[in-house]
Structure 1
Amino acid sequence: MDELFSGDTKFITIVILGAILMLIMALTLILFFYLSRKKIIQKELEKKTLELNHQKEMLKATIVAQEAERNRIAQDLHDAISAKLNVVSLSANFLLEEDNITPQETDEIIHHMLKVTNKTIESSRKIAHNLLPPILEKFGLGAALEELCDEFNNSKKVTVSSKIEYEPGRLSQDNELHVFRIVQELMNNSMRHGKAKGIELNFNPTKENLFLHYKDDGLGFDIEKMGVQKGLGLRNIESRVSLLQGEIHYRSEKEKGVEVEITI
């Protein structure tokens, strides 16, 4: 009888221990899944936070770039338009108010007024061209990029080689302007900061994407310090790429130029 109870006790003990072990395993699994799920949710929240912060930075860069552009336009209007119109106004008032003017002096003043007026018209055309290049509006992005490359080539300060294969109407006019400004900013950076003598531009379409490859032989920069060195120009480029829902990648080393790849 004692042996029977002893056997039952062992069996009950084994069952209880097994149940406790199963319970521990179940609790461990529940805890594991809970912590894993919590970690996944935390990572998703961190990812969303990073995306939101990136969007805020891009929006901030866009606003800063727009303000800088407005300030530049305002300065151009003041220097190139207002100042010249003031000269014309003063000359016209002088002709109307002054009695003792010889015919020769009158001719000289009128000639000067016409000269200043022509310069003002030319300045207004340049400002309008910078705001929206007429060729972009009339003939599209491909022609505008080719004209931009020709303008830099004609400066004799840099040699630009380009291969532009763009189907008209592939992008909206607003997005075409974004791409144009991106290339314009890259070229200006190469000239102003990189002191480049050569630039290569390839703009090729695929069935699904548009691929822009840009390269110069300028001073380059340390890619690891890019976050610290990133100025308004690069932030402006990145904000436009973001608006195009594209991706941008840089390759650069000191004294070895810059390569930029943009996929739209």
Structure 2
Amino acid sequence: MSRENVITKLQIGIYLLNFVAVCLVAGIMTYSLREIVEVMDARNFLKAVQVRPWRPGTILFTSVTCYLMLMVLSGISQLWEGRGKWVRSMIMVGEIGFCIGTTFALNMNYDGLVLLVVADMIRGQKGGKQKLILLLAVTGLYTITDYNLLGRYFGMVPWDSFISYFSVSTQALLRGTRSIFVSMNLVLFILYMVLLIQGEHREKERIRFLNAQLESANLKLKAYAAEAEKNAETRERNRLAREIHDTLGHVLTGIIAGIDACITLIDISPEETRKRLVKIGDVTRQGITDVRRSVSKLRPDVLEKMELEKALTQMLDDLSHNAKAEIGFDNQVHPLKFHEDEEDVVYRVIQEATTNSIRHGHAEKIHISIHKKDQWLTITVKDYGKGCEIIEKGFGLRHMEERLKILGGSLEYEGHDGFLITAKIPIRWGEEYDS
């Protein structure tokens, strides 16, 4: 059984116990007054108490009615818990009023109802300020309902006066019965308060534990955010490095090859030299534009202006013209049109591979092919340069691998009899390609 269920049952027990006590005290008072009237001893009774008591029927009706209203307000208070402090305050005032009404109807001969009201009120109080107000209210309530303090001033008839017309043994029994009800009420109230305080303590511990977990999660989140930001910065630096390396490497290789050709031709054919210099200028300006767009996180300028196949053809023609290299391009995929990120990778891989062939392999003949099988696009770049027995991955090869890895692709290469690069990309073939 959960602690909440135990607390609820204790509260119900307190209500039932007090209901029986109210009915018992009110019944004895009503019975005593009627017996006094029956034996014609009202004058002596009034002379002894020096006050005029309520009518017998009024005592029983008022006390039971006020107590039942108190129980109804208590039930409403629990159903409407959390509806707002003003609603709670109005219900609290009503409970105190009916508690005082019941106690006065009993001529202050039973004050156990105060504990009942306190048990109900304290369950819904949160915070030190509200509990201070509750403490003041309880102190005032006890003061008002204590017969020894204010009973005579309010014209209340003491309990002993009501039971004085019973036999001595019956008087002892009635006093003992009332004391038992008072004691049982106090015991149930203490148990109720102990469970309530334990529950509140455990709730505070649970909240403290959750706060500690939340703080730990916040620290981990901050560390993760810092690490993510650092990784993002690293990826961005690598991206810019790849873009600038690919663009500058390709452009500078073409410029160097073109200048070497111009040096050779300047004495033989000045007109051809002039044409080559104009071409070199065009390639240089295009390279500057690509570098600027790379820094601005955009794709190569040439892919913004034309389709991928035309862009590759133009790039290879420019490189072939400037470097005096024979470059063959065999494309078996028509149309050569994919998503932007895929086209960027295809363009950059071919650009970097051909640039490396001329710069490092001094190749005069290069063959490039593009074909597909199932969902895979395969790019091969084969040059007939000096090759490389021991391959040490430089900036270009690493960046080609990084680009392909982003799309889930792979890169293979070998340096016997020239240099061969094979790149595989899982293309997202869609309606645009199928059409």
Calculate the TM-score normalised by the size of structure 2: 0.32
- Corresponding position: 1:259 with 2:426: no
Q: Is the 8 A contact 1:153 1:159 kept in 2?
A: yes
Identity, % of aligned positions: 27
| CA deviation after TM superposition for structure 1 residue 221, in Å | 1.0
Equivalent pairs counted in the alignment come to 155
Equivalent runs, 1:239-258 vs 2, <5 Å: 239-253=402-416, 256-258=417-419
C-alpha distance after superposition, 1:10-64 (max 9, x if no partner) = xxxxxxxxxxxxxxxxxxxxxxxxxxxxxxxxxxxxxxxxxxxxxxxxx978844
Q: Is the 8 A contact 2:411 2:421 kept in 1?
A: yes
Calculate the TM-score normalised by the size of structure 1: 0.50
User: Which shifted more, 197-206 or 126-135?
Assistant: 126-135
Q: Residue type matched to 2:303 in 1?
A: L
| CA deviation after TM superposition for structure 1 residue 66, in Å | 2.3
Structure 1 distance, partners of 2:282, 2:412, is: 41
CA separation of 1:145/1:62 partners in 2, compared to 1, >3 Å: closer, same or farther?
Answer: farther
- Corresponding position: 1:179 with 2:363: no
Structure 1 distance, partners of 2:411, 2:381, is: 11
Equivalent runs, 1:117-128 vs 2, <5 Å: 125-128=286-289
Q: Secondary structure at the match of 1:166?
A: coil
| CA deviation after TM superposition for structure 1 residue 124, in Å | 5.5
Partner of 2:240: 66
Q: Secondary structure at the match of 2:342?
A: helix
| CA deviation after TM superposition for structure 1 residue 210, in Å | 0.8
| CA deviation after TM superposition for structure 1 residue 123, in Å | 6.2
Structure 2 distance, partners of 1:121, 1:147, is: 12
| CA deviation after TM superposition for structure 1 residue 173, in Å | 1.0
| CA deviation after TM superposition for structure 1 residue 216, in Å | 0.1
- Bigger proportion of residues as strand: 1
| CA deviation after TM superposition for structure 1 residue 259, in Å | 1.0
Aligned mate of 1:232, from 392, 395, 398? 395
Dislocated runs of 4+, deviation >6 Å: 59-62, 71-74, 120-123
Structure 2 distance, partners of 1:175, 1:149, is: 19
C-alpha distance after superposition, 1:208-252 (max 9, x if no partner) = 211111100111112xx43xx111111011111111211221122
Q: Residue type matched to 2:338 in 1?
A: L
Partner of 2:367: 200
Structure 1 distance, partners of 2:375, 2:407, is: 14
**Rg larger in 1 or in 2?**
2
Q: Residue type matched to 1:245 in 2?
A: G
Name the Cα RMSD after superposition: 3.3
C-alpha distance after superposition, 1:91-138 (max 9, x if no partner) = xxxxxxxxxxxxxxxxxxxxxxxxxxxxx9996554124544444223
Aligned mate of 2:378, from 205, 211, 218? 211
Q: Is the 8 A contact 1:152 1:159 kept in 2?
A: no
Q: Secondary structure at the match of 1:185?
A: helix
Q: Residue type matched to 2:422 in 1?
A: E
Q: Is the 8 A contact 1:198 1:216 kept in 2?
A: yes
Give structure 1 stretches of 5+ with no counterpart: 1-58, 75-119
Structure 1 distance, partners of 2:324, 2:282, is: 27
C-alpha distance after superposition, 1:169-217 (max 9, x if no partner) = 7421122111111111111111111110100000112332111111001
Q: Residue type matched to 1:202 in 2?
A: S
Structure 2 distance, partners of 1:122, 1:260, is: 25
Question: Which structure ranks higher in relative contact order (CA pairs < 8 Å, sequence separation ≥ 6)?
Answer: 1
Q: Secondary structure at the match of 2:399?
A: helix
Structure 1 distance, partners of 2:285, 2:323, is: 25
Aligned mate of 2:320, from 153, 160, 164? 153
CA separation of 1:214/1:169 partners in 2, compared to 1, >3 Å: closer, same or farther?
Answer: closer
Structure 2 distance, partners of 1:71, 1:248, is: 18
| CA deviation after TM superposition for structure 1 residue 159, in Å | 0.6
Q: Residue type matched to 1:149 in 2?
A: L
